[in-house]
């Protein structure tokens, strides 16, 4: 599932990000290593000095997230995710409401900068959704 500011930007929030954060239920899944192999990348398990990482040219833009502040378990959050069409696939994306909740819970200086933007984006997207429902 795509999480963090990439998830927010996919849903229309006017924020910038440096990478795409991915939250997996199980990092040991075969499908993940196969997909990484296809793009010339690999999973680097966590060590004493490094968090779990993706390495290799095809994975430069991606980061792994193993937990999200202020949110439930992966199984809880995936039920509330939004699905964004991507070619023939549907990309699972953490909802804007939950991105905002996680940023508020993390409350790091960089999160504090994005909270008002995410809040306003949520107001705008809700208004657009209400308008679309009326039509």
Partner 1 sequence: MKQRAQFQDAAKARRWARRLSVRVEKILAANPRADRDNIRHTLILLEQPPLERLQRSLIRGRATAIFRK
Residues at the site binding partner 1, with contacts judged by CB under 8 A: 5-6, 9-20, 61, 84, 86, 116-117, 119-121, 123-125, 127-128
- Give min distance, CB of 2 to partner 1, in A: 9
37: its two tokens: 């192999």
Name which of 12 and 40 has its Cβ closer to partner 1: 12
- Give min distance, CB of 39 to partner 1, in A: 16
- Give min distance, CB of 52 to partner 1, in A: 21
β-strands 89-93, 82-86 pairing: antiparallel
Name which of 9 and 102 has its Cβ closer to partner 1: 9
101: its two tokens: 């909740």
Which secondary structure element, helix H or strand E, spans residue 117, and what is its range? helix 109-134
Q: Are 95 and 81 in contact (CB under 8 A)?
A: yes
- Give min distance, CB of 53 to partner 1, in A: 17
Long-range CB contacts for residues 48-54, cutoff 8 Å, separation at least 24: 52/27
CA angle 61, 75, 81 (to 5 degrees): 60
Name which of 66 and 123 has its Cβ closer to partner 1: 123
Name which of 48 and 135 has its Cβ closer to partner 1: 135
């Amino acid at each position: 599932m795509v999480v963090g500011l990439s998830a927010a930007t996919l849903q229309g929030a006017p924020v910038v990000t440096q990478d795409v954060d991915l939250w997996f239920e199980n990092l040991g899944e075969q499908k993940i290593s196969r997909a990484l192999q296809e793009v010339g990348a690999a999973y680097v398990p966590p060590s004493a000095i490094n968090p779990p990482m993706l390495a290799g040219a095809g994975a430069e833009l991606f980061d792994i997230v193993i937990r999200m502040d202020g949110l439930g378990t992966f199984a809880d959050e995936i039920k509330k995710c939004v699905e964004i069409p991507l070619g023939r696939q549907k990309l699972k994306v953490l909802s804007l409401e939950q991105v905002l909740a996680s940023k508020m819970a993390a409350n790091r200086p960089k999160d504090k900068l994005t909270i008002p933007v995410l809040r306003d984006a949520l107001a705008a997207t809700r208004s657009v959704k209400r308008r679309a429902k009326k039509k």
